[in-house]
Amino acid sequence: MTEAPRRTALDALHRALGATMTDFAGWDMPLRYGSERDEHVAVRTRAGLFDLSHMGEITLTGPQAGRALDHALVGNLSALAVGRARYTMICNAEGGILDDLIVYRLADQEFMVVANASNAQVVLDALTERAAGFETDVRDDRENYALIAVQGPASPGILKSVTDADLDGLKYYAGLPGTVAGVSALIARTGYTGEDGFELFVAPGDAEKLWQALTEAGAEAGLVPCGLSCRDTLRLEAGMPLYGHELTTATTPFDAGLGRVVKFDKEGDFVGRAALQAAAERAASAPPRKLVGLIAQGRRVPRAGFAVTAGGEVVGEVTSGAPSPTLGKPIAIAYVDAAHAAPGTEGVCVDIRGTHEPYEVVALPFYKRER
């Protein structure tokens, strides 16, 4: 007997707005409210409002919380300043990626780890096991948070109208406690869209009040509710990896071109260190495949799993693909043999149901906002 999907604190509101709902990692989530293209364009040009309450929050507290995270994850989290956040990964002993994460240092002895919904339990179990022996407590906080994101160039102005928190002083990948529309929140300048924006961690009971306040505050600026569909095309244009596509247990951070998140110079050993050292050496000498961007010369859309070819031979595989509203063409991210990975390489195609469609190889990201 399959379990019924979980519902966020905003579920009734999404349905009242006419959202198309979908099962995602065991959660009933809004896929779109109307046109996913319109939602995408709103985030690129104005602002969009997202319910991300399916993400998994895990809190570590205690005098050795930082050291425990240094051991459990690939990054140097004990060096993170209070009020800052860091993108990092958790790997297995073989160097394979279990998940990519954002870690926030909330206080000297308190960190919050945010995991992808599909991996939250895996990450919780791994952190609990790896923190054993350290003076720290690992707490599953998934039921204690709702997460609302406001993303897009108009998002700072919208949020300023409902909070007295110092948003101008809040750097990218930083967070501070504050009050938004009368609701206590952790205000983080983070996101997954390639635009400026904020993610607001609040108590589930406050989520609907905050959503409605942001909706009203953003009406004049053109803010719209957005679903998971446009979130995927936004992150794809921004060249941001998605777990289960660009990142898997079969890939290391170095395979994905994200070796910079692995900190070999931190104190103490960490899970996967030896395997990651070997992966770093392989990547430096002769990487077998590289992660690249592909832009269609035609109109057919590539999908994950489609073969990338050159001269009739398979030279790679698409990991993500979709029409790009910003570029006006289909785009894809793919792992491609190093010999065919340089931007401008000619003769690269994607096998779309038996037809080898021509694609241009480009460096990621496809889109980068002006700062």
Q: Residues marked as binding for substrate?
A: 199
**Amino acid at site 287:** P
Comparing C-alpha atoms, which of 83, 92, 114, 117 is closest to residue 7?
Answer: 117
Cβ 319 vs Cβ 304: under 8 Å: yes
Distance CA 98, CA 368 (A): 27
Query: Which segments are annotated as binding site?
Result: 199
Indicate the burial class of 224 (C-beta count within 10 angstroms; 0-12, 13-18, 19 or more): buried
Residue 81 DSSP symbol: P
Q: Prior bond to 365 cis, omega within 30? A: yes
Distance CA 241, CA 235 (A): 8
Distance CA 270, CA 76 (A): 10
Distance CA 178, CA 185 (A): 5
